[in-house]
Structure 1
Amino acid sequence: MKVFWIPAEEPEGMRAALYALAFLAGAGESEFSHAHPADILWRRLNALDFFWLLIIDNVDDPAVLGGSRRRITEGTEWIRPPETSNGAIIISSRNGRPERWAPWIKMRHIAPLDPEAGALILLDLAPSAGSHTHARDLARLLDGLPLALELAGRYLAAVSSSPFPIRGSATTFAEYMETYSERIERLGMDESRSHEPEEDRRVLSLTWEISLDLLNEQGHDLARPLLRLFSCCAPSPFPYQAILRPEVLSASPLFPDPTPERLAGALRALAGLSLITLDFVPRADDLWAAKINMHQLVRTMTRINAKRSGSLANYLTVLIQLLETASQDLEADNAGDWPKWAAIAPHCTAVLELVVADGIDPASDDLRLAMQTAQRVAWYRYMSGQYNQSVIDHEQAWNLAVRSWGRGSIEALETAGNLGRAMRENGDASGAEEFFRSTLAIAHESVGDEHPVSLTIRLSLARTVRETGRFSEAEAELRALLSIARRVLGGRHADTLMIVLNLAVCLRAQGRFEEGIRYYEEALAGWREDHSEDDLNTLDIRFEIAQSKHSIGLVDEAVGELRGIVEIAARVYGDEHPNTLTIRHGLAMSLKTLGETQAAIEELRQVLEGQRAQLGADHPLYLSTRRALEELTQ
């Protein structure tokens, strides 16, 4: 049997691995231009002529497997019931709620290992640590928890192989049981509650605290603080070489003398006892490629231990400073930085989750720093077309800003403006409009109508009105806003130019093409002064001009322009970025006008699959493309 193992801690990495599996199962590059990658994957898996097993590991949030429970149930997402007797799928998860899973998924509770099986694991890891009987007794004491057994076995193996044994360290199964029992008595644990979740976690906590004591005695005094720092992070791979800056760590008394050599030794020691896993990379020039992974139970209990000791807020402060330093040179609108943003983003938002969920109250300056970094993450998600996640991230930041500084604060108003934009792009125009209006009313009271943040919110509201088809209403608002913006911000300010662009769109939508083109050209000339040709807004303005040319009969010219814009958008932002797909939709409509019906149909089919994957089957852009395709194929 062929086994395919896919880790799911990091959603983007999981999807990339499944995409790669499709190729491994025999898919060709050309197949992906006609269908969604998930369809290709399962078509290929179901066609395999040998027995196979797909394991998707650590799926604690079923949402990472698809856009909705309904689509997972229907078998139209990344996981589906195999249609062949040759294949099977196993999903491991700590989420045992049946309502979160599709009905075709059969749930099986995995019990702890029995003492005999546990003894075999211990003897395999530490064969010289004692008899089979003592190994069985230790396995029973550890409740048969696989992680606890591994930690204990690796501890004993490390002690027995040390060229300079630490006096007093447990070296046998029997001695380990004595050390463990002493800690149970100090903590007052109730052995009668064996296998209850809380008791299981405390069992595990004791095993790695014993291991951390050993590392500290061996001179790895940075091991425990590093583990506690990692416990504040998200359950996603942690790019440690890019984030662990000695100059930042050295400012905290938690990390004495954090030289690269001492940090490397502590990380190797933690990995040697299986408290973390290190993913090394051969290329030393890519600091973002080397990752640390940490078991979720180790993360949870280490965080609890840090909180009990009263030091969790201090570790959180260090992490905030590390993340800000690592991300300060990254740009949210630079597609070249997006892979780095993808690596650091979960940890930046995890900081805010920790502040809210655990009631941690960092110093005001640190909280502002965390907020700024999380807002940049949310904006990266917006710029890269991850609108749903951008809504989630912006909403989290906005709620915290409101709680910390009030809804009328600049922090809350700026975040609210971006949250509304993400809501609109995610397909909720009516909700976005209502949110913009309520936010604008608060901005009116707190900062005034001509403050830059108020003008930005008014622009976003006017665009939302325009996108709902109320063009004359939007035009009136944009003209009034343009007059204020030119006076307050200046004619070449980015917001002023965006007002000009949206006014041009309103004019084109009302059939006033020549007038609209003049405004488009003004916006493009101003935007090009400070932005490159592959900037998203530059491409957007060029796309709108091409659409206008189509409308006045210059269809050949429009097609040539659209092909050039598509080439840049696909190369810089990717084939499935929402803006790329919108441009391709426009190209298909121009091809239709030229009579190239088959080419238009093929283009729309690819756009439709891309929009389904990126935006979902309920998004207005997807529905618009589907209607256009249906009209062409009738």
Structure 2
Amino acid sequence: MPEPVHNALSGNIGTAVQVGHLHGDVNFNVFPSTGPGLGSLAPPALTHDVRGRGELVSAVVEELRAGQSCVVHGAGGYGKTTVAQQVAAELGAETWWVDASSERSLHDGLREVALRAGANPQEVHEAWEGRGHAPDLLWRQLARVESRWLLVLDNADDVRVLGAGRPIAERTGWLRTSTGSVLITSRDGNPQSWGGLARLHEIETLSVADGAQMLLDRAPDAGSSGSAGELAQRLAGLPLALHLAGQYLAVVATMPQVPGLDLPVDFDSYRTALDDRWPEVTELPDAPHPLAERETLHRTWELSLDLLAERGYPSARPLLRLLSHFADAPIPLEVLRTDILAKAPVFAGITAVHLAALIKALTDVGLLHSPENPVPVLRLHPVVRETNRYLGEPQEIGNNMAHSVALAGVMAASMEVTDPATWPRWRVLLPHCAATLDVPDGVREAVPGLIALTCERATRFCATAGLVLQGIDLARAALSRLAETRAEVREPLLGIRNDLASMLLDRADLDAAEAEFRVVLEAAPDVFGANDARTLGVRHNMAGLLQARGELERAESEFRAVVELMTGSLGAKHSSTLAARHSLAGALLARGRLAAAEAEYRAVLDLRQQVLGAGHMHTMTTRSELAGVLRASGELEAAEAELAELLDWAAETLGDDHSRVLITRSNLAAVLAERGDLKRAESELRTVLAVAHEVWGADHPHVLAVCGQLENVLRGQGKRALPDQAAIAPETR
């Protein structure tokens, strides 16, 4: 099949998404995964006892059990999430925890909820792509769940998002009355915002006694309960401030008290230090103004940063400021390249050892966290991030924004896109690439080329890894926010538009894909030249569009022209030339010219093994296509051996539930069936169907085709064919 060149405009046009081909059984198109497992819905774990929230938690639990939706609201740092965690623990129901801090995270989380609740994955796929009403689908499915469940929407500060474009009171959006339990945490405590759909519970600051106990939980040797109470009162009962103060004193307690070390070591001295640093707000009103609350938190953090400076880490403060300008998402540790950091005067001379020590120091005082993740990451508390990103002089803030953009860009440029081993790192980096578009105009105008190149790499990753929806969103955002008039931006924006067109083609949105391809093809000759490799890459993709439309003769002719031109300008062994030849072989196969297709695939395979290596994804894709030719030519034994080896590679490299693994397994089953080994064919097909509905959706043509294969295999053994969805579950007898 045609092999879209997603990075045809980047200067390395050989990187491409390549897909398998089910010859006669399933015609394969790339679709984003539709199955559960894309994101965790588990509640975050509690790390300390919950203090001072017993009555609130009991009231919320009682109302949830009675079927009443609840909103716990209050300012940042008050512990709303902690209350929700305790409620979930006490309610004892199956809990689905969704990050509602942004429209995207809310939609992604609720999509996962719908799937976990048993919704048809294909219907979910279509609804979340705009071909159905996703909120209706979600609530229809939740109404069918017989067991007790709790849906937590955490940090739903923008209530308009829950309305899905309509007033929330109309009950047509994401929040409705339900037979289960819905708990929301939000900063919005306005009853009109919630339209009578939920019972509101305001979360207060902690009492002196509870605040004191919270301090003693973290720093049990830092003084008496009376002294802890005085400090708790001084900190206005703000849970986050109390937590950070306790963490600070716990760290100090482990330090040698050498002569001249003048640091607060207990509750009393910590309170005195706060007074010295904070004379203007010594007496807080009974109901602190939000700005005063933020100042309280800021002063608490500043004291912790002073501690680190005293311990020999003056760069901890600017590092925290810098990290606050990344996206509100886990930050890959890899992004903090010391050679890039050192270009800023404040980090001059920084080494990897020093950076590691800074990160540990910030973690020790509770300002950074290192959650468990396959890719090492750092996480800031949202309130810490929110406050610190606006601290400092305007020039300093602008420099930090530009520095975060540079760091994300360097990491994006350093990672291969087509190597599946890099994809977990790309997934963590992706939100930070998108965040480069959110900087103020002044910063964006200072480094537009860097931002454009970063987004181009990110959209190429999305296209390659099958993250089509995310990639389309990112591409369209980049095209709308970056002016194409700048010379350094025009080329990467053409690459982004080409990636957008390729992803639209993957979704079989042929008209939209053609429109985008034509825009690129019209501009590319002026920018690059008519016979430039990047222009030819777009012609290659347009040929793939012709094949998708069924214009096979025209597609073959265009592929041949592109191959000839690429061979002349790039050389016979260039990855883009080989990609075009691979697509040409697919066009020949589609026209039934088996001998010509086999010869072309074998030539491409030989060159790809030389250039890319035997285990490269592109090499393995060509082998997969060649196995299909062998099967179509009647060479079943050779096809079986090839597919079996390819299946082992794909399962180990991509995982058992990857689309390419399922396709290879079903192709192997087809060969086994043709060779008369019906029992093994049945086993392979059942293995496919056990997970296929999660990957493609039960009504997807791939699944229907494999069900048809299984029916034929069962009849061939004299077994009763299984009806409809019964075939999806593995046989248990």
Q: Given the two structures, how large is their TM-score scaled by the length of structure 2?
A: 0.66
Distance 1:108-1:374 versus aligned 2 partners, 3 A rule: closer
Amino acid at match of 2:494: L
CA offset at residue 493 of structure 1? 3.1
Q: Which amino acid aligns with 1:510?
A: R
Checking the alignment, whether the CA contact within 8 Å between 1:233 and 1:351 is kept in structure 2 is: no
User: Could you say which residue in structure 2 is the equivalent of 1:120?
Assistant: 213
What's the % identity of the aligned pairs? 25
Partners of 1:76 and 1:105 in 2: CA distance: 22
- In structure 1, the residue matched to 2:421 is 336
Q: What one-letter code is carried by the residue in structure 2 that aligns with 1:65?
A: G
Equivalent in the alignment of 2:363: 271
1:557 to 633, 638, 644: 638
C-alpha distance in structure 1 between counterparts of 2:661 and 2:311, whole Å: 55
Cα deviation, residue 132, structure 1? 5.4
Alignment deviations for residues 457-493 of structure 1 (CA, whole Å, 9 cap, x no partner): 1211211331343323323332343343344434433
Structure 1 residue 441 and structure 2 residue 522: aligned?
yes
CA deviations 1:181-230 (Å, max 9, x no partner) are 53548xxx99687476x765554334313322343344321111111122
Question: Which structure's residues are more often helix, by fraction?
Answer: 1
Candidates 389, 405, 417, aligned match of 2:470: 389
Specify the code of the residue in structure 2 equivalent to 1:583.
Answer: T
Shift of 1:559: 2.4
* Structure 1 residues 127-178: Cα deviation after superposition (integer angstroms, max 9, x where no partner): 5767757755654665544222211333355567762224899844753663
Q: Residues 248-327 of structure 1 correspond to what in structure 2 (within 5 A)?
A: 248-278=340-370, 290-306=376-392, 309-323=394-408
Instruction: Name which of structure 1's ranges 536-545 and 481-490 shifts more when overlaid on structure 2.
Output: 481-490
2:298 aligned partner: 205
CA contact (8 A) 2:236 2:284 kept: no
Q: 1:113 to 1:374 in 2, by over 3 A?
A: same
**What is the CA–CA distance in structure 1 between the aligned matches of 2:372 and 2:523, rounded to whole Å?**
51
Tell me the residue number matched to 1:7. Answer: none
User: Where does residue 285 of structure 1 map in the other structure?
Assistant: none
- Where does structure 2 lack aligned partners over 5 or more consecutive residues? 1-35, 44-91, 125-137, 163-172, 186-200, 714-720, 724-733
Counterpart-to-counterpart distance in 2, 1:408 and 1:292? 31
Indicate the SS of the match to 1:310: helix
Distance 2:358 2:445 in 1: 29
**CA shift in 2, pair 1:580/1:74, >3 Å:** closer
Q: Which runs of 5+ in 1 are unaligned?
A: 1-10, 19-50, 282-287
| Structure 1 residue matching 2:611: 3-state secondary structure | coil
| Residues 417 and 456, structure 1, Cα contact 8 Å, conserved in 2 | no
Q: Given the alignment of the two structures, is residue 93 of structure 1 paired with residue 154 of structure 2, yes or no?
A: yes
Match in the other structure for 2:589? 508
Which deviates more, 127-136 or 253-262? Answer: 127-136
Per-residue deviation at 1:383?
3.5
Alignment of 1:366-405 (within 5 A): 367-399=448-480, 402-403=483-484, 405=486
Q: Post-superposition shift, 1:17?
A: 8.6
Residue 579 of structure 2 aligns with which residue?
Answer: 498
* CA shift for structure 1 position 243: 4.2
The answer on whether the counterparts of 1:408 and 1:446 sit within 8 Å (CA) in structure 2 is no
Aligned to 2:438: 356
With over 3 angstroms needed to count, the CA separation of the structure-2 counterparts of 1:173 and 1:486, relative to structure 1, is closer
Instruction: Give, in whole Å, the separation in 1 of the partners of 2:432 and 2:554.
Output: 41
Question: Which residue does 1:153 correspond to in 2?
Answer: 246
2:183 equivalent to 1:107: yes
Q: How far off is 1:94 after superposition?
A: 0.6
CA distance in 2, matches of 1:444, 1:410: 12
1:178 matched residue in structure 2: 275
Q: Contact between 1:398 and 1:416, CA under 8 Å: does it hold in 2?
A: yes
Whole-Å separation in 2 of the counterparts to 1:439 and 1:69: 39
Report the secondary structure of 1:107's partner residue.
Answer: strand
Residue aligned with 1:254, SS: helix
* TM-aligned CA deviation for residue 314 of structure 1: 1.9
Mean Cα deviation higher: 513-522 or 219-228: 513-522
C-alpha distance in 2 between matches for 1:107 and 1:17: 14
Does 2:97 align with 1:62? no
**How far off its partner does 1:106 sit?**
0.8
Quick one: structure 1 residues 424 and 168, their matched pair in 2 at CA, closer, same or farther if it must change by over 3 Å?
Answer: same
Larger RCO (alpha carbons 8 Å, 6+ apart): 2
Query: Is 2:483 the counterpart of 1:422?
Result: no
Moved more, 217-226 or 322-331: 322-331
Distance in 2 between the 1:222 and 1:15 partners? 34
Residues in 2 aligned to 1:299 and 1:385: alpha-carbon distance in whole angstroms: 31
Q: 1:535 to 1:91 in 2, by over 3 A?
A: same
Within a 5 Å distance, the mapping from 1:593-632 to structure 2 comes to 593-597=674-678, 599-608=680-689, 610=691, 612-614=693-695, 621=702, 625=706
Judged with a 3 Å threshold, the aligned counterparts in structure 2 of structure 1 residues 161 and 253 are, in CA distance, closer, same or farther, namely: same
The one-letter amino acid paired with 2:635 is L
Q: Any idea what SS the aligned residue of 2:367 has?
A: coil
For the residues of structure 2 that align with 1:506 and 1:260, how far apart are their CA atoms?
Answer: 52
Check whether the contact 1:406–1:412 (CA below 8 A) recurs between aligned residues. no
1:260-281: CA deviation from partner (whole Å, max 9, x where unpaired): 5543443333222211124699
Q: Where do 1:205-244 residues align within 5 Å?
A: 205-240=298-333, 242-244=334-336
The 3 A distance-change label for structure 1 pair 149 and 309 is farther
Q: Which residue of structure 2 aligns with residue 165 of structure 1?
A: 262
Alpha-carbon distance between aligned partners in 2 of 1:355 and 1:234, rounded to the nearest angstrom: 11
Counterpart residue number, 2:28: none
SS at match of 1:216: helix
Query: Which digits, 9 at most, give the CA deviation of each residue in 1:333-379, with x for residues without a partner?
Result: 22334444445x23xx4154144254451675x55345444433443
Please give the per-residue CA displacement for 1:522-562, whole angstroms capped at 9, x wherever unaligned. 33333333122222222222222222232233334322322
Partner of residue 535, structure 1: 616
Paired amino acid for 2:262: P
Give distance in 2, aligned partners of 1:71 and 1:451.
46
Letter in 2 for 1:333: T
CA RMSD between the two structures:
4.4
- Equivalent position amino acid for 1:414 in 2: G
Q: Indicate if the aligned counterparts of 1:608 and 1:625 stay in contact, CA closer than 8 A.
A: yes
SS at structure 1 position matched to 2:615: coil
Contact preservation (8 Å) 2:504, 2:512: yes
Q: Is the 8 A contact 1:375 1:393 kept in 2?
A: no
CA distance in 2, matches of 1:234, 1:610: 34
Q: Once the two structures are superposed, what CA deviation does each residue of 1:249-292 show, in whole Å capped at 9, x if it has no partner?
A: 332212244245543443333222211124699xxxxxx86543
Within the candidate set 516, 533, 536, 1:452 is matched to 533
Cα gap change, 1:430/1:157 in structure 2, threshold over 3 Å: closer, same or farther? same
Q: Is the 8 A contact 1:66 1:72 kept in 2?
A: no
**Distance verdict in 2 for CA 1:611–1:450, change over 3 Å:** farther
Rounded Cα–Cα distance in structure 1 between residues aligned with 2:328 and 2:321: 14
CA contact (8 A) 1:398 1:412 kept: yes
